[in-house]
């Protein structure tokens, strides 16, 4: 909390006049805020880069394949991400996109998420901040476990899903086979807007489906070197397409007719209700189908809308300013050494410098340093609207799930922590680094990188880290060394299950063999148990003790 924020009172938001409401409504209608979800290695970060390329906010895609020239994508900023070619942290990107289809000028807030299941907790936080999701599926592998889990989160939160079947430039499965799998495994009716012309591995272009599946045009793509530039497109009418592609075009037409016969045509109401999913076949690496995805997002995905608070009341977009923090991240730029709290604006107009109220503490908070972020690039933002993602600099009092507001008090539901399955004792290799060690642990804990557990027996010098997946421990070690110059030692702890408990049960649980009770930094008491058999014994013999199941990656 800055001195400035402590000395000033939160401002009351004036009642908007009709002209201001009209302007706000216009800005909200322009915005699309979405996340990309997928299994690892489905091409998520490459798609993120390709979308930015087609929006003309970068001139060349960063994912250039080839051993000599491979570059990391703009959304992967951590050294660990660049070295492994995977995303381990969510990243917010904002850019404008002018639609060629209807001439509209849109503001796109794209939140890239970790694909690896070890970081599903971070992905869950992102899904609390978006209005739609793009589900990316590998054309050869189809639906995979992590994708299924993340889809269940989308279903629970009522987030409509657009499906992209990626890597159609490589050998893979038949188009209708993949659609059947989506329908069977997740109960979502796939309604392709575009069908591929050419089998997987021979991607020639896309058939754009019209009403009742009638082909409206053939979009033919031309490859560019390494997929670094936007792929040129040529539009042909169905007759010209048939003459050019012959049997491949006829096959796509037949598939489109078959889909219409089974009712798999797009219906906007059913899409928004989470019953259907528009489908696009694409190759993010070659930039085939990427423009079509952007046009689909701005034309079909819902704009920002109101959100219910902890009391079940709706905060509408035209109400006074409110926002929810969904991510806190430090170390994004070594030159700044600061900490960013990413907030999703829920209602009203954000103005840089406005003094808001922090719902969790009731204290005023100044927003002098506010940024929009494109990867690691920062731009000062003066105004922002519902749906926008804004980074607040050095917001040490903020944590994921916190609410900021002006005028009428509002507090949005907290973001739950996942059930950890991996535990390790953390120590500083050198006792002389203890102060830096404590600072590092507190920062990573507040960011939600890992859960930190403590009890009187182990003390602050040896906290226990609790993680959904073991790679979270690698991130902790890497960031402690890079940002705090602390060499950390991690010693695995022999527990595999965590259950929420209470003060009345903690003493008895602490006496049980194979159980240890800790306090998480948010005050929740967790009982760690060695294995499921030990847990079953305790539950059977001492049913009066509180042992509550925590939320999991696929839970609601």
Residue span of the structural domain in which 502 resides:
422-541
pLDDT surpassing 70 at residue 517: yes
Backbone angles phi, psi at 510, to 5 degrees: -65, -20
> What is the Cα–Cα distance from 311 to 272, expressed in whole angstroms?
25
442 plus 399 within the same structural domain? no
Beta strand 91-98 with 205-209 is unpaired
361 plus 437 within the same structural domain? no
161 plus 291 within the same structural domain? yes
290 plus 172 within the same structural domain? yes
pLDDT surpassing 50 at residue 245: yes
> What is the Cα–Cα distance from 263 to 277, expressed in whole angstroms?
13
Where residue 260 falls among pLDDT bands split at 50, 70, 90?
Answer: very high
Cβ neighbours, 10 Å, residue 208: 17
> What is the Cα–Cα distance from 39 to 477, expressed in whole angstroms?
25
Model pTM? 0.81
CATH at residue 148: 3.40.50.300
End-to-end Cα spacing for the chain? 34
Tens digit of each residue's pLDDT (9 = 90 or more) over 519-542: 998 899 999 999 999 999 999 999
Average pLDDT over residues 471-477: 87
CATH at residue 536: 3.30.70.3280
Selection from 82, 80, 87 nearest residue 45 by Cα: 87
Asked if residue 29 is part of any domain, the answer here is no
> What is the Cα–Cα distance from 375 to 149, expressed in whole angstroms?
26
Percent composition of the chain: helix, strand, coil (DSSP 3-state, to 5)? 30, 30, 40
> What is the Cα–Cα distance from 51 to 62, expressed in whole angstroms?
12
Kindly provide the b/e burial profile for residues 122-144, where b requires at least 16 CB atoms within 10 angstroms of the residue's own CB. bbbbbbbbbbbbbbbbbbeebbb
The pLDDT, as a whole number, for residue 65 is 35
> What is the Cα–Cα distance from 23 to 383, expressed in whole angstroms?
13
Asked if residue 62 is part of any domain, the answer here is yes
The CA distances from residue 72 to 64, 95, 228, 331, 335, in Å, are 8, 19, 13, 17, 19
Whether the CB-CB separation of 437 and 428 falls below 8 Å is answered with yes
378 plus 455 within the same structural domain? no
Give alpha helix (H) positions in 448-552: 471-484, 503-510, 532-541
Whether the CB-CB separation of 356 and 365 falls below 8 Å is answered with yes
Could you identify the residue written with the tokens 């009709």? 18
pLDDT surpassing 50 at residue 433: yes
Whether the CB-CB separation of 270 and 276 falls below 8 Å is answered with yes
Task: Choose the weakest-confidence range: 29-38, 86-95, 390-399, 409-418.
Answer: 86-95
The pLDDT, as a whole number, for residue 346 is 97
366 plus 477 within the same structural domain? no
> What is the Cα–Cα distance from 44 to 255, expressed in whole angstroms?
27
pLDDT surpassing 50 at residue 68: no
Number of folded domains that form the chain: 3
Task: Choose the weakest-confidence range: 66-80, 135-149, 538-552.
Answer: 66-80
> What is the Cα–Cα distance from 11 to 465, expressed in whole angstroms?
40
Asked if residue 246 is part of any domain, the answer here is no
Average pLDDT over residues 483-506: 93
Selection from 129, 265, 285, 112 nearest residue 190 by Cα: 265
pLDDT > 90 fraction of the chain, expressed in percent and rounded: 58
Residue 551 is given by DSSP the state: B
Given CA atoms 327, 331, 332, 337 in this order, what sign does their dihedral have? positive
Selection from 517, 513, 512, 511 nearest residue 498 by Cα: 517
Whether the CB-CB separation of 440 and 466 falls below 8 Å is answered with no
Tens digit of each residue's pLDDT (9 = 90 or more) over 370-386: 987 765 677 888 999 99
Token pair, residue 461, equals 């010098």
Binding-site entries for GTP: 112-116
> What is the Cα–Cα distance from 311 to 403, expressed in whole angstroms?
14
Given CA atoms 53, 59, 62, 66 in this order, what sign does their dihedral have? positive
Give alpha helix (H) positions in 287-376: 290-300
Strand spans (E) along 102-192: 105-112, 132-138, 161-166, 189-192
Asked if residue 547 is part of any domain, the answer here is no
The pLDDT, as a whole number, for residue 251 is 97
The pLDDT, as a whole number, for residue 61 is 62
442 plus 400 within the same structural domain? no
- Single out the residue in 405, 434, 449 at which a domain terminates: 405
Asked if residue 154 is part of any domain, the answer here is yes
Cβ neighbours, 10 Å, residue 438: 16
- Single out the residue in 376, 405, 434 at which a domain terminates: 405
Q: At what angle do helices 44-54 and 290-300 cross, to 10 degrees?
A: 80
Token pair, residue 253, equals 């037409």
Helix, coil or strand: residue 124: helix
Asked if residue 244 is part of any domain, the answer here is no
- Single out the residue in 343, 376, 405 at which a domain terminates: 405
190 plus 294 within the same structural domain? yes
341 plus 449 within the same structural domain? no
pLDDT surpassing 60 at residue 63: no
Cβ neighbours, 10 Å, residue 4: 13
Tens digit of each residue's pLDDT (9 = 90 or more) over 447-460: 888 899 999 988 88
Beta strand 339-347 with 422-428 is unpaired
> What is the Cα–Cα distance from 370 to 379, expressed in whole angstroms?
8
Average pLDDT over residues 163-182: 97
pLDDT surpassing 90 at residue 142: yes
pLDDT surpassing 60 at residue 347: yes
Selection from 125, 150, 122 nearest residue 42 by Cα: 150
> What is the Cα–Cα distance from 85 to 90, expressed in whole angstroms?
14
CATH at residue 385: 2.40.30.10
DSSP, residue by residue, 405-452: ESSS---PPPPPPB---EEEEEEESSGGGHHHHHHHHHHHHHHTSSEE
373 plus 429 within the same structural domain? no
Asked if residue 245 is part of any domain, the answer here is no
Could you identify the residue written with the tokens 């001439």? 103
pLDDT surpassing 60 at residue 64: no
Looking at every residue in the chain, the average pLDDT score rounds to: 86
Backbone angles phi, psi at 138, to 5 degrees: -75, 130
54 plus 203 within the same structural domain? yes
Asked if residue 448 is part of any domain, the answer here is yes
285 plus 350 within the same structural domain? no
Where residue 288 falls among pLDDT bands split at 50, 70, 90?
Answer: very high
pLDDT surpassing 60 at residue 79: no
Backbone angles phi, psi at 370, to 5 degrees: -125, 140
């Amino acid at each position: 909390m800055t001195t400035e924020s402590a000395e000033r009172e939160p401002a009351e938001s004036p009642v908007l006049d009709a002209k201001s409401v009209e302007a706000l409504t216009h800005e909200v209608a322009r915005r699309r805020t979405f996340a990309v979800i997928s299994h690892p290695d489905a091409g998520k970060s490459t798609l993120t880069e390709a979308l930015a390329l087609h929006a003309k906010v970068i001139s060349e895609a960063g994912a250039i394949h080839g051993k000599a020239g491979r570059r990391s994508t703009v959304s992967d900023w951590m050294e660990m991400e660049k070295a492994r070619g995977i995303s381990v942290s969510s990243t917010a990107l904002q850019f404008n996109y002018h639609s060629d289809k209807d001439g509209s000028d849109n503001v796109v807030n794209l939140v890239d998420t970790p694909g690896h299941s070890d970081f599903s907790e971070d992905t869950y936080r992102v899904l609390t901040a978006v209005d739609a999701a793009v589900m990316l599926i590998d054309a050869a592998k189809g639906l995979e476990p992590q994708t299924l889990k993340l889809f269940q989160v989308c279903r629970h939160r009522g987030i409509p899903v657009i499906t992209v079947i990626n890597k159609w430039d490589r050998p893979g499965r038949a188009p209708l086979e993949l659609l059947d799998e989506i329908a069977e495994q997740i109960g979502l009716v796939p309604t392709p807007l575009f069908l591929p012309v050419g089998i997987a591995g021979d991607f020639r272009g896309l058939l754009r489906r019209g009403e009742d599946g009638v082909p409206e045009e053939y979009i033919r793509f031309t490859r560019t070197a390494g997929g670094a530039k936007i792929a040129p497109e040529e539009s042909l009418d169905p007759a010209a397409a048939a003459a050019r592609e012959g049997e491949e075009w006829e096959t796509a037409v037949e598939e489109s007719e078959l889909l219409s016969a089974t009712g798999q045509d797009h219906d906007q109401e059913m899409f928004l209700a989470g019953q259907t999913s528009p489908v696009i076949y694409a190759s993010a690496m070659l930039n085939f189908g990427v423009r079509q995805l952007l046009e689909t997002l701005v034309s079909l995905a819902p704009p920002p809308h109101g959100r219910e608070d902890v009391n079940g009341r709706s905060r509408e977009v035209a109400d006074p300013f409110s926002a929810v923090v969904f991510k806190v991240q430090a170390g994004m730029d070594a030159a700044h050494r600061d900490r960013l709290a990413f907030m999703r604006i829920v209602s009203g107009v954000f103005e840089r410098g406005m003094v808001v109220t922090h719902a969790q503490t009731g204290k005023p908070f100044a927003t002098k340093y506010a940024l929009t972020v494109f990867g690691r690039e920062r731009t000062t933002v003066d105004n922002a609207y519902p749906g926008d993602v804004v980074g607040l600099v050095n917001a040490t009092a903020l944590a994921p799930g916190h609410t900021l507001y002006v005028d009428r008090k509002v507090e949005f539901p907290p973001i739950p922590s996942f059930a950890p399955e991996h535990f390790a004792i953390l120590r500083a290799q050198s006792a002389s680094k203890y102060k830096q060690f404590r600072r590092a642990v507190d920062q990573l804990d507040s960011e939600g990188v890992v859960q930190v557990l403590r009890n009187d027996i182990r003390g602050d010098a040896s906290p226990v880290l609790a993680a959904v997946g073991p790679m979270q421990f690698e991130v902790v070690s890497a960031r402690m060394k890079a940002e705090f110059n602390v060499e950390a030692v991690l010693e695995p702890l022999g527990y595999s299950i965590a259950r929420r408990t209470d003060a009345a049960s903690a003493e008895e649980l602490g006496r049980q063999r194979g159980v240890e009770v800790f306090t998480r930094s948010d005050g929740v008491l967790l009982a760690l148990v060695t294995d499921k058999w030990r847990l079953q014994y305790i539950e059977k013999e001492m049913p009066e003790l509180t042992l509550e199941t925590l939320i999991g990656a696929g839970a609601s």
